[in-house]
Amino acid sequence: MNTFGQYFRVTTFGESHGAAIGAVIDGCPPGLELEPADIQAELDLRRPGQSELTTPRREPDRVEILSGVFEGRTLGTPIALLIFNRDMRPYDYSKLKDLYRPGHADYTYEKKYGRRDYRGGGRSSGRETAARVAAGAVASKLLACRGIQVVSFARMIGGVWLDGSVPKVDSQTAGQIADLSGLRERIYASRVRCPDPKTAADMEDAIRLAAEEQDSVGGIVEAHAYGVPVGLGDPVFGKIDARIAQALLSLGAVKGIEFGEGFRLAGMRGSQANDPFAADSKGGVVPLTNRAGGMAGGITTGLPIVCRAVVKPTASIGRVQRSVDAEGRPLDLAIEGRHDPCIVVRIVPVVEQMMNLVLIDLFLAQQALQGWDREARQY
C-alpha cells in the first residue's frame, strides 16, 4: 500500500527516474494557511547536493500545489503535491539492468512484480521520501497550531556518539514544552544534523574517511515530539509506538527502533524501569520520569515522545563487491553513479516528517472521539 494514515491520509507515487514524484493528502482540515514556500522549506532540508557529504545529484525538488488550496487556505479537499524529476541520468544506471545490487531492492522487486524500473531504484529509491517530506510539512503546520513540535537529529554516525540529553528534559521540565528555540536551527545548521558542533565535526570525519575508502557508514537518528497532549494513540493495534514503528521502519534504510530506554530495558528490573507518578504544579498527576518515552499502554502521557531508529550504511558503495549477475555468473561489482556516503544525514528530516504524519493522524482520531463530549465525557 502506498497510503499512510486513517484520518490524514497520504498517498505517494513516483519512480526515481520517472516523470515526477508526488503525494496526495486526503483529510487535511480546511482553513489552514498554506503556500508552496511552507513545503519547500522542509523539502530543502532533505534535498540532495547540499554538501560534499551527500550525493551530488542536483534536484531542485521544486514542489507545486495542484489542488486543495484556494485563496491561500486549505479547502478540506485533497491536496496534490507534485515534484518533477529533473536531474535524471538513466545512463548511469543502464548497466545495472541485469544486476541485483547488494543491499538494494532490485532483486526483490523483480521477483515480486516480474519487472522493475531499474533506473536508480525506481520506486524503491530514497527519492520517494521527498513526497513524504512534502506531506509532512503540511502536517507540521497543523501540529504547530496546537503547540506540537517534532525535532530529530543524528544521535550516532559511524561510531561517533552524541552524548547527553538533547534538549535537557528532566523531571522538573517534563510535561512542559521544552525550550526548543534554536534547537532545530542548530541541528540543520550542521551538515550532519547534529546539534553539538564538536560531535558533528567528528561525525563528518567518520563519513569522509569511509567515503575516501569508497565505503559508507550508518548511524542512529533520534526523534522527540514536544507538546503532545495526554491521550493520543489507539489502544491495541494502533498504539502510538506501533504506529511510529511502522512509520519509521517504512523507510528503506531503517532496521530497528526503540522507545524511551529501549533495548536497555531488557536488563533492568521493574523497580528501575517504571515511571513513578508525582503531583504536578496544578494539583494533577504526571509521570516523574520518562523511561517509557512519552507513552503508557500505547497512549501518550504528555511527556515528550522519545525514540531512536537505526539507519544502515548506504548500500551503494564504490568499493568492489563480489557478486553474481542475474544468471548466477560471478563478477566484481563497483557501483558508480552518485551516492550518499551516509544516508543518516538525509533521513533526519524524513524521520521528523514521518513522526508528524503519525501525530496528526492520531490527533484527528482523538478529535473524532473527544469532540463528541469534550467537557463532560458524558451523554
Residue closer to a second copy (CB basis): 189 or 370: 370
Residues in 205-224 that interact with a second copy by CB under 8 A: 210, 215-220
Residues in 234-263 that interact with a second copy by CB under 8 A: 234-239, 241-250, 252, 255-263
Residues in 170-189 that interact with a second copy by CB under 8 A: none
CB of 155 to a second copy, least distance (A): 9
Among the listed residues 1, 2, 3, 4, the one whose alpha carbon sits nearest the alpha carbon of residue 243: 4
- For the chain, report the end-to-end CA distance as a whole number of angstroms: 38
Q: Are 288 and 276 in contact (CB under 8 A)?
A: yes
CA dist 348 and 344 (Å) reads 6
DSSP state of 313: P
Is 60 near a second copy (CB under 8 A)?
no
Residue closer to a second copy (CB basis): 151 or 286: 286
Residue closer to a second copy (CB basis): 182 or 350: 350
CB of 223 to a second copy, least distance (A): 14
CA dist 303 and 177 (Å) reads 9
- In DSSP notation, 50-77 reads SSTTS--------EEE-SSEETTEE-SS
Three-state secondary structure of 102-123:
CCCCHHHHHHHHCCCCCCCCHH
Q: In this chain, which of 26, 38, 44, 92 binds a second copy, going by CB under 8 A?
A: 26
CA distances from 69 to 21, 24, 60, 94, 333 (A): 19, 12, 23, 40, 48
Residue closer to a second copy (CB basis): 150 or 251: 251
Task: Determine the angle formed by the axes of helices 344-370 and 36-46, rounding to 10 degrees.
Answer: 140
Residue closer to a second copy (CB basis): 122 or 349: 122
Query: Which position has the grid cell 531512536?
Result: 308
Residues in 306-365 that interact with a second copy by CB under 8 A: 310-317, 319, 321-324, 326-330, 364-365
Residues in 80-139 that interact with a second copy by CB under 8 A: 80, 82, 100, 102-105, 107-109, 111-117, 122-124, 128
Is 231 near a second copy (CB under 8 A)?
yes
- Candidate ranges 47-55, 166-174, 183-191, 288-296; the one touching a second copy (CB under 8 A): 288-296
Is 378 near a second copy (CB under 8 A)?
yes
